[in-house]
Each structure stands twice: as structure tokens, then as C-alpha cells.
Amino acid sequence: MPLTVHQFPCLSDNYGFLARDEATGQVACIDTPDAAAILRELDKLGWTLSMILNTHWHADHAGGNAEVQTATGCRIVGPAEVTRIAPLDREVGHGDRVSLGETTFEVIEVGGHTLGHIAYHDAADHIAFVGDTLFVMGCGRLFEGQPEQMWTSLQRLAALPDDTTVYCAHEYTAANARFALSVDDAPALKARAEQVFAARERGEPTVPTTIGQEKATNPFLRAPLLAAHVGAAGQPDHFAFAAVRQAKDVFKG
């Protein structure tokens, strides 16, 4: 039985996600950007929350934990770093499995944006929740980690099957596409950027994406191919990644 994902915008550019295991009706909420919005969506759908799955400790991901738990009595699962701002019922790390009814999420360590950032992969349904690690045509800023750690994390996600549906936590895609066009001439990029700009003009989300689409058009995943263009020719792959990340950090598009 599949996992049904309900996605909704909240705060200025976050997405909230409710995931329902259809076999049992159990529901997980991936991160808690906006407690009021999460409780409203649960109410609208008539779904009962079983657990919160946190990806990292930032307030726009775990800041609503207490309010959502108080309102629903759900359990909270996440990486140890979340305890910097709120308690957890279960700490998880790389390779751990989390059950939601008949659905199993495998935890993938994807540090870099924060040191302890994790992603949740439901292999049976080809779905991954990646928080602020991988964005559509982008990746998270390195607030805590080093480029080598983030590059390793992105490679872990890139190794998932191409048809994996990837739920990113922010709608940053139009800005990411403008940057991508400035550093990369991937054959698939121009057409995709046009689709993205049109979708955003219509007010439509560009999330989710897929691993296959990102491998074709995301300049961070394609960094080794762009090495010469970003001044990292002949350097290890994570140097090329660091150069692309640096270029994005100063890009004024």
C-alpha cells in the first residue's frame, strides 16, 4: 500500500508535508515549520498525526514541535541536534529505520547545511524527504558543515534511484534556476528553467522533483562537470562543488 503525501506552502517559502501510510492510516508530519498550518491541514484532511519526523534543528523545521505535539500527542523522531531547541522521543542516525504503519523510512545522514541533518527515504514508494539539503536545481547553504561533507551528502542522495520523488523544504527554485543558467549549459537546463519560471508565474509549486531531474539539471550535483568553468579544473570533486556553492553564495541574479 502506498504512502500519500500532502504538501502545502507555509511561512514565506517553506513547504509542509503530511505523509499517510494508506495501509494503516498512520500519518507523519515532516518537520514543523508552522504548527498552526500543520494542525489546520490535518483537520481539513481528517487525518490523525502519529509522529513528527525532523530533518534538522532549524526553527523553520523543528520550531513547531512542541505545539504540534501538545495538540496531537504525537511522537517526535529526529537527529540528536534537534534537542538544541526541543526534546525528542527518539534520536535517529544514519541507517536507522523508522516505521509508520507498514511504511519504512530509512534515515540517511546528509550533514552540511547543519552538521546533523538527516533525510528520510521510503524505498518501497520511491520517496525521499530531504529537508534543506537538496533543492530543485539547488542545495542548502553550508551553515555548519564543510564542502566535503555536503558533497558526500549530496552523493548519497544522487545514488537513490532516478525515479525517486524528492520533497524539498523550500520553494527556492526560480532563484536557483537563474543561478544555474549562469554557470551551466546542461542540455536539459534551459527548458526546465522556462517551465519553472512559468509555473511560478502561475503560482504553482515546483516541488517535488526527482533524483533523475536533479542529476540532469542541478549545478551542484553536476559540479565536477562544471569544474573548468568555476576555476576548479583538475581538482577533486568536492573542490568543484565548493566553487559552485561559493559562486551561488555571491550570485546576484
Report yes or no: 27 and 53 within 8 Å, Cβ to Cβ: no
Enumerate residues 6+ apart whose C-beta is below 8 A from 52: 28, 29, 30, 31, 32, 65, 68, 69, 74, 75, 76, 77, 78
**Residue 214 contacts Zn ion per CB under 5 A:** no
Show the binding pattern over residues 122-161: x = contacts Zn ion (CB under 5 A), - = does not. Answer: ----------x-----------------------------
Among 41, 60, 81, 171, binds Fe ion (CB under 5 A): 60
Q: Mark the segment that binds Fe ion (CB under 5 A) among 59-67, 96-104, 106-114, 243-251.
A: 59-67
Report yes or no: 67 and 87 within 8 Å, Cβ to Cβ: no
Q: Which is nearer to Zn ion, 13 or 102 (CB)?
A: 13
**Residue 34 binds: one of Zn ion, Fe ion, none (C-beta under 5 to 8 A by kind):** none
Report the distance separating Cα 214 and Cα 209, nearest Å: 7
| CA atoms within 13 A of residue 177's CA, in its CB half-sphere | 20
Among 58, 126, 238, 248, binds Zn ion (CB under 5 A): 58
56 is catalytic: yes
Type of residue numbered 199:
A
**Residue 171 contacts Fe ion per CB under 5 A:** no
Nearest partner of 213 among 137, 126, 109, 121, judged by Cα: 137
Q: Which is nearer to Fe ion, 15 or 47 (CB)?
A: 15
**Residue 184 binds: one of Zn ion, Fe ion, none (C-beta under 5 to 8 A by kind):** none
Q: Report the chain's terminal Cα–Cα distance, integer Å.
A: 44
170 is catalytic: yes
60 is catalytic: yes
Residues catalogued as catalytic: 56, 58, 60-61, 113, 132, 170
* Binding-site ranges for Fe ion (CB under 5 A): 60, 132
